[in-house]
Every structure is written in structure tokens, then in C-alpha cells.
Amino acid sequence: MNLNNTNFLNGLNKNQSKAVQHFEGPLLVVAGAGSGKTRALTHRIAHLIVEHNVDPSEIIAVTFTNKAAREMKDRLEILLAKRMAESQLLKPWSSLESIEKNEFRSKIYRQINQELWIGTFHALFAKLLRYDIEKYKDKEGLSWTRFFSIYDEKDSLSLVKEIILQDLQLDPKRFDPKKIRWSISNAKNKGILPEQLERDAESQRIKVIAQVYNLYRKALSANNSLDFDDLLLIPVQLLKQNHQVREYWHQRFKHVLVDEYQDTNWTQYELIKLIVSNGKNPSEFKNWEKRSVFVVGDADQSIYSFRAADFRILMSFQNDFDNSTDSKVSNSLVKLEENYRSTSTILEAANCLIENNKERLDKVLRATRGKGELIKLTKCDDEIAEAEAVVHRLRIINAGDETFSWGDVAVLYRTNAQSRVIEESLVRWNIPYIVVGGLRFYDRREIKDIIAYLKLLINPSDSVSLLRILNVPKRGIGKTTIQKFNDAAAELGVPLWEIVSDPEAIRSLGGRSAKGLLEFQELLTYLKNKVDQFAPSELVQLVMEKSGYISELIATATDEAEERRRNLQELVNAALQYQEDNETANLEGFLASAALASDADNKDTNSDRVTLMTLHSSKGLEFPIVCLVGLEQGLFPSYRSLDDPSSLEEERRLCYVGLTRAKERLFLFHALERRLWGGMREPSIASNFLTEIPSDLIEGDLPLSGGTSLRRERNFERLTRIDRHNNNFDSRQSSTLSPSNAVRKTFSGPMPGQSWSIGDKVVHSFFGTGQITHVFGKEEKISLAIKFDGMSPKILDPRLAPIKLIKDN
């Protein structure tokens, strides 16, 4: 291809160029926030193709989200189209008509992008499995066909539930399906199979989990279905056991690139190794000729350990892949330490915060921009006041700045549940906004229903989907009928579909449900005949109409039904979009993209709306203005991280991610009390993270920093008020208190120098007795996590809260 008049190094700094020019062998790019890592990645791919003449089909690039993949493809397309146009027409890209630009882009798309494997681990290995899953030989004889369905979390949970309730008849109170599903997922992400889990089981409980796991795997196979974890685990096993398959993919993917390497888990790491070094120990792998593995990541932004990600994989990359003992540091590591995104104030705050972590790879992040404004901290009475304060800030900025756009703003929070209050305030003030994340589009009931029909058309063994739609819309097929059929299927060891579609079985039933079943069977036969002749979007439409789903919604005639109809129309649009993006569109492909899509993928980036999202989904994005809300102990950091230093460090990294999203201005908020689920107010104390940011970078209501704050006054007031109303507090408790406590209780306020430790029992004048589960901070900054009977753990400041220690003996 004739693209040689320019190279892809223009406008890159020294280390970025070094990364882009890397050709053979392993390279770790440690890339801090805002240091231009996506740029390095895309430019390197372009460089490989153009300068090193690498065939696009030999490149595999793994991203963390679909959105990142799409962005990379887009940027690559523009990059290459630009070079192609400029070398052919000898005039600058910007002088081209947009129709010309598009022509070049579509040329690049067909010649190059179509060949590249760019996507998430899940999407790419699902694609690989469509080729090779039938070659997989399971030790227990389990197998899958290339028409497998992909189960999302809900589907797989319903399967686990069924096993726990029906097959094993366990008490779901003792064996919570959600927790067990989670344990299974964890095992899968570590590459552990049921037999090993059973063998290493240290408790009866784990044995039971292994048993469920075992049945669950069998059920998945019987349904010809895979869960998210299988999309990675099955390829690992397949590549390990089948030399030919492994050899093929090893030869094919000569250049492997991984983005967000700090968030890879064990299974993903195995996959990389298998492909890169063909199953050999990668540190002994020598044949790097025209091959490379190129990973980009930042250990400080590792925030997915709950999904079994382990940033030590990143930290040991050089040990794993680089066998050139002499020049390790210079040859297989490049650091991008210049931040082009944030003001130096924001950056310094983030740097100081993250320095509190112990487990880190040495790295600094240097500012390239001016100081900018101070960070503003706002203390609010409760979560409603917090939301109002956010909106108030934004309105002030909006009024004072002509160039301001609502799209410049992101409001970030720790949990999805926090979005609602903010939304209410935004609605009240008529500010346009969009919530990303939360409930996935494809998780909506009506969408899942239609998708279930489509899955069934391709994969009749998929009983989870079958059960979902057998009586949706209503066909008079009730619980008892379904149970009967289900039992029969289990007994005969055949998929439920075989029974449901068996005329004999139907005839053995009474008239009412038989009619419905015949109807259903006819419908599916009719639809099945259409699969090959119609595009996915047409099939969606067809299912919606012929199943009677739409007419039922019309008949219902409520606002909710109307909304559902609109969503279904969106599904048709999604299918159309999919067809546009993929020349080789088919129903399997559409279903896979639906299963692996996330809500964040569909975010419309250039609309003039405030973006609301969790800190997790903000990773990789940037905004001129960031509002970070809910900075309170127990919320952020989450109370579940308080008893575990490494989780707390992960929360801190999450905070680091949040701070570094901001380019110009950063606003922090915390509330003094918060309603959790519409019920009781919970007192909250400011997040310890706030105290880790140097106070000279912040203006506003500094937390816990001496002086008499409003918060203290209020809490003292509450303390005395409770004591007044509860005047039998002392006398009621005194009989159970030891003498030393009897002395202590003569203090009327908080006790100075009191020491608290985990396990201590305390009595609270309002919550009753509880036990300390965690102590964090000390002296001025101390706070306690206390579990009271029948309540979620509370985070309290012992110097302010009306609590007293009880001696155990």
C-alpha cells in the first residue's frame, strides 16, 4: 500500500514514539492517566501495518470495553485513511470533502479494519470459539456446538437457582444462589474446575459449591450455552489440549496488544501466554522474529479485582516474557509519565492520594499544564442537599461562561443507586443529562424476551430461553405443565425443547395448555424457516409481531407498555446498527454482540448533556469538569473494603481514577447524613481520602481538620438530645457494665484517648449493642465500623457518637 509520505510519529513525545516503533519481542508500556496510551496503541497498530508491512489479520488487540474497541477502530480508520489520502492525492486531509473522506475510510475499513481482531477478551474469544469449540474435548465428555448461546449473569443465576432448588433441594437461605454463583465465577476465573475445587475443599460448604458447580457446568453443556467466564476458560482449555488449534492461532496472531493490562485476570493471562508463546513457558520463548506482545496498563488504575483481575500480572510482565537478562529495563519497558490531561493542581492531588498505597510499581506522573483552579470541596447536610449543591455549582458555571456546555460535565459516584437523587435535582432545574451504566439496555425484560426467542431459533437446546418465553406472551401454559415437561426432559436426558415439540407429549395433555403449546410450536417452526433468509433486524421485527408480543403491549395500553414498545423499536435499531457495522452480519453475531454489550457502550459522547456514571465506568474517559459525590466513609471507600487493606487500596485507586478524569475543574462533595433505601437516615463522616489530599489544593469545607465544625456542633446536639430523651440509658446499662466502665460513664462527652479495637462490644444509645468490625484512622481521624444486630454496619466517629464500650467478662 502506498502510504509512505508520512509516518505515525508526528506529535508524539520520545517515549510514546519508542512505544509506537516497538516491533519485535515483549514490551510493557506503563502509562499513567492521561498520558496518551490509546494514542500509542492506535499509532503502533498503524505503524505495524504500514511501516512493517504486517498483515492486519495477524494483529489482535484486546480492549477492556466494547466502547474502547470501537474507538480504537475508528481512530485507526481515520489515521490510515488520512495517510492513504494524503499520499495518493498529495493534499492535506482537511482539504478533502467529507464524501471523499468517507470513501477513503470505507476503503480502509474493507481492506484493513475488517481483518483486524479488535475487541474485548470476551468478544474476541467468543469469535474464536465459533470456529473451534467443536474441537474441544472435555474430560467429562461435555461438549458444545458452534451455535452456543451466551448467558448473561441473570440467565446463569437462574440456572444455578434451579440446580440448588430442584436438583439438590438445598435451603436457599443457607446456600444463597447469588453467593454460590459468585464463588463459581471466581473459581472459573482462576481456572479451577469442579473436581479440583472438590479436592481442595476445606469446608463442607465448598464441597457443596463444587457440587453445584459440577451440575452447573453439565447444565450449561446440556443447554449448549456458555457463561461469560466460559468464553475465556474454554479457550484456555482448548488451546492447552489441542496442539493444532493452538499452533494455528499462535501462527495467526503474530502481534498481540492488550490495553488495560492491569485489569486482566488469571484466565486472560493464560490466553495471552498460550497465543504468544504457543504453550511454552514464555520466559523461555525465543522465537520473537516478526512477533510481539505489547501490553499497556497502569497498576494505579487497577479497579476490577472483584472480577478476579490481578495487577500483579502487570507487575511481573517483564519477568514473564523477557528472557534477555542483561537489558531488561531498557528493552521491555517504556513509561509514559507525562500527563496531558489535567491541571497540575488536580494531578498533584491525585499523586498525593495514591502515594498512600503500599503496593505500587514505581511511577510518577508529571504535569504538563498550568496550576488551574483549586479543587472545591462542599459539605452538605444530606444527599438531597448534595444533589442541589452539585446543580447549584453547575448553574453558576453555566451562567458565567459563554463557552460552557453541559456535555463538559461528569458527575461520578461510587454506586449506581446514588444517581437517582442527582437525577431528581437535574430534572428540577431542567438540566439535560444522561445516565450511563446501571441497567443495561439488553437487561430490560421485553428485550430479554425477544432475544430469548432469537436464541432459541439458533440453539433449541437453550432451555433457559425456552422457559423464559414458553408462556410469554400468555398462551395458557401454566406452572404445572411446565413442571411436568421439565421433569420428563430431565428423566429422558433430552433438552426441554424435544418434549415441548413432541406431538405425543402435547396430546397427552388436557385441551387448554395443549392448544397453547401447539400454537407455540407452530410459531417457532415458522420463525425457524426464516432465519436464513432474513437479516437480524427483520427477524427481530418478525418475532415481535408473530409472537403476539407487540399486540399484547398495545392491548395493555399503559405508559409502561408504551415504554416497552419504544424499547423494542430500539432493539430493531440496534440490529440495524449491527448490520451496518458488520458486512457479514448474521443472527449469531447479533446475539453475541447483544450478550456482550454494556450500557456504557451506547453513550452518545457529543451531546450537550451532563454525564452521570459510576467511577468504574468513567475509566478511560475525561471531562473538563468533574463532580465527585458521596465522599464518605462506608460509601466511598465502601464499607466492604474497610476490613481489608488491599481492598481499601483498590478503593483508593478508584478515587485516583475519579480525580484524574478531570481536565480543568474538580468539585468534591460529601454529605453528613444519607438515606440509604428510602428509610432511615445514616450519619456519615467524611471520607479519609479527603484528608489524604493536601489541604492547600482544596478550598471549601475541609473535613476533620481542627476547629469547631458545623458537623461537630450538630452531632453534639444530637448526642445530647438522644441522651435527654433516653434518660434511662445510663441506669439501664449500668448493671451490665464493669466497674471500669462505670467510672468511664461519668464523662459526659466523648472520651479523649479512648482506644478501640476490633471485636470490642459497644452499646449505642440509639442502635443498641454492637461489635466493632473495623477501626480505621487514628486519633483525630479515627472512625469505627460497627455491626449492630439486624442492621448493616455503621460507620461512626467514636468521639462524637453516643457509644460506650462494654467489657466482655
Residue list 9-48, contact with DNA (CB under 7 A): none
Q: Work out how close the CB of 504 gets to DNA at its nearest, in angstroms, rounded to a whole number.
A: 18
Q: Work out how close the CB of 781 gets to DNA at its nearest, in angstroms, rounded to a whole number.
A: 22
Q: Is 260 a catalytic residue?
A: yes
Residue 178 engages DNA in binding (rule: CB under 7 A): yes
**Among 16, 18, 37, 475, which one carries the catalytic annotation?**
37
Residue number with CB closer to DNA (484 or 565): 484
Q: Work out how close the CB of 43 gets to DNA at its nearest, in angstroms, rounded to a whole number.
A: 24
3-state SS class at 669: strand
CB atoms within 10 A of CB 324: 13
Query: If residue 437 lies in a helix (H) or strand (E), which one and from where to where?
Result: none
Nearest 10 degrees: Cα torsion 366, 368, 374, 376: -70
**Contact between 274 and 221 (Cβ < 8 Å):** no
Q: Is 38 a catalytic residue?
A: yes
Please choose, out of 341-349, 636-644, 722-730, 771-779, the segment that lies near DNA by the rule CB under 7 A: 636-644
The span from the CA of 260 to the CA of 67, in Å, is: 13
Name residue, grid cell 487497577: 302
x/- map, 512-531, DNA, by CB under 7 A? xx------------------
Number of residues that bind DNA (CB under 7 A): 50
The span from the CA of 434 to the CA of 604, in Å, is: 9
**Contact between 176 and 205 (Cβ < 8 Å):** no
> What grid cell was written down for 64?
477492556
Q: Specify which residues 634 forms β-bridges with.
A: 638
Please choose, out of 136-144, 269-277, 412-420, 500-508, the segment that lies near DNA by the rule CB under 7 A: 412-420
Q: Specify which residues 376 forms β-bridges with.
A: 667, 699
Q: Distances from the Cα of 447 to the Cαs of 300, 321, 595, 707, in angstroms?
A: 37, 44, 11, 56
What value, to the nearest 5°, has the Cα angle with vertex 311 and ends 308 and 313? 95
**Contact between 311 and 302 (Cβ < 8 Å):** yes
x/- map, 577-596, DNA, by CB under 7 A? -------------------x
The dihedrals phi and psi of 340, each to the nearest 5 degrees, come to -100, 5
**Among 217, 564, 661, 804, which one carries the catalytic annotation?**
661
Please choose, out of 11-19, 119-127, 624-632, 735-743, the segment that lies near DNA by the rule CB under 7 A: 119-127
**Contact between 657 and 368 (Cβ < 8 Å):** no
Residue list 496-515, contact with DNA (CB under 7 A): 512-513
Nearest to 137 by CA among 279, 241, 244: 241
Q: Is 120 a catalytic residue?
A: no
Residue number with CB closer to DNA (496 or 697): 496
Residue 790 engages DNA in binding (rule: CB under 7 A): no
Nearest to 15 by CA among 440, 338, 422, 327: 338
The dihedrals phi and psi of 200, each to the nearest 5 degrees, come to -90, 5
Name residue, grid cell 488520512: 82
Q: Work out how close the CB of 353 gets to DNA at its nearest, in angstroms, rounded to a whole number.
A: 17
Q: Work out how close the CB of 308 gets to DNA at its nearest, in angstroms, rounded to a whole number.
A: 9
Q: 685 burial class (0-12, 13-18, 19+ CB within 10 angstroms)?
A: buried
3-state SS class at 787: strand
Strands of the sheet containing 59-63, edge to edge, are 117-120, 59-63, 255-258, 292-297, 25-31, 333-336
x/- map, 130-159, DNA, by CB under 7 A? -----------------------x------
Residue number with CB closer to DNA (417 or 492): 417
Residue number with CB closer to DNA (15 or 465): 465
CB atoms within 10 A of CB 436: 21
Q: Work out how close the CB of 807 gets to DNA at its nearest, in angstroms, rounded to a whole number.
A: 32
Residue list 605-634, contact with DNA (CB under 7 A): 613-614, 616-617
Please choose, out of 18-26, 450-458, 468-476, 486-494, the segment that lies near DNA by the rule CB under 7 A: 468-476
Residue 661 engages DNA in binding (rule: CB under 7 A): no
Nearest to 796 by CA among 718, 727, 708, 737: 718
Binding residue for DNA, selected from 168, 364, 396, 417, defined by CB under 7 A: 417
Task: Bin 390: left if φ > 0, else alpha if -120 < ψ < 50, else beta.
Answer: alpha
Residue 640 engages DNA in binding (rule: CB under 7 A): yes
Name residue, grid cell 495517510: 83
Binding residue for DNA, selected from 475, 661, 764, 774, defined by CB under 7 A: 475
x/- map, 216-255, DNA, by CB under 7 A? ------------x---------------------------
Residue number with CB closer to DNA (173 or 358): 173
Please choose, out of 206-214, 517-525, 670-678, 697-705, the segment that lies near DNA by the rule CB under 7 A: 670-678
x/- map, 42-71, DNA, by CB under 7 A? ----------------------xxx-----
Residue number with CB closer to DNA (582 or 598): 598
Q: Is 37 a catalytic residue?
A: yes
What's at 387, amino acid-wise? A
Q: Work out how close the CB of 211 gets to DNA at its nearest, in angstroms, rounded to a whole number.
A: 22
Residue 645 engages DNA in binding (rule: CB under 7 A): no
**Among 42, 211, 262, 301, which one carries the catalytic annotation?**
301
Q: Specify which residues 214 forms β-bridges with.
A: none
Q: Work out how close the CB of 651 gets to DNA at its nearest, in angstroms, rounded to a whole number.
A: 8
Query: If residue 239 lies in a helix (H) or strand (E), which one and from where to where?
Result: helix 230-241
Q: Work out how close the CB of 193 gets to DNA at its nearest, in angstroms, rounded to a whole number.
A: 19
Residue 307 engages DNA in binding (rule: CB under 7 A): yes
Binding residue for DNA, selected from 57, 241, 501, 638, defined by CB under 7 A: 638
Measured in whole angstroms, the distance separating CA 627 from the mean position of its chain's CA atoms is 21
Residue 677 engages DNA in binding (rule: CB under 7 A): yes
Nearest to 30 by CA among 260, 244, 344, 208: 260
**Among 21, 38, 368, 577, which one carries the catalytic annotation?**
38
The span from the CA of 291 to the CA of 381, in Å, is: 59
DSSP state string for 240-264: HH-HHHHHHHHHH--EEEESSGGG-
Q: Work out how close the CB of 446 gets to DNA at its nearest, in angstroms, rounded to a whole number.
A: 12
Binding residue for DNA, selected from 476, 548, 700, 750, defined by CB under 7 A: 476
**Among 229, 259, 348, 632, which one carries the catalytic annotation?**
259
Residue number with CB closer to DNA (658 or 798): 658
Q: Work out how close the CB of 741 gets to DNA at its nearest, in angstroms, rounded to a whole number.
A: 34
Binding residue for DNA, selected from 400, 493, 511, 679, defined by CB under 7 A: 679
The span from the CA of 423 to the CA of 651, in Å, is: 25
Nearest to 761 by CA among 700, 807, 713, 708: 807
**Among 132, 229, 230, 260, which one carries the catalytic annotation?**
260
Binding residue for DNA, selected from 21, 598, 741, 771, defined by CB under 7 A: 598
**Contact between 385 and 671 (Cβ < 8 Å):** yes
Residue list 339-398, contact with DNA (CB under 7 A): none
DSSP state string for 716-752: HHHHHHHHHHTTTHHHHHHTTS-HHHHHHTT--SPPT
Q: Work out how close the CB of 683 gets to DNA at its nearest, in angstroms, rounded to a whole number.
A: 16
Catalytic residue numbers, as ranges: 37-38, 259-260, 301, 661
Q: Which residues bind DNA (CB under 7 A)?
A: 64-66, 120-123, 153, 176, 178, 228, 303-304, 306-307, 414-417, 437, 440, 445, 471, 474-481, 512-513, 596, 598-601, 613-614, 616-617, 638, 640-641, 647, 676-679
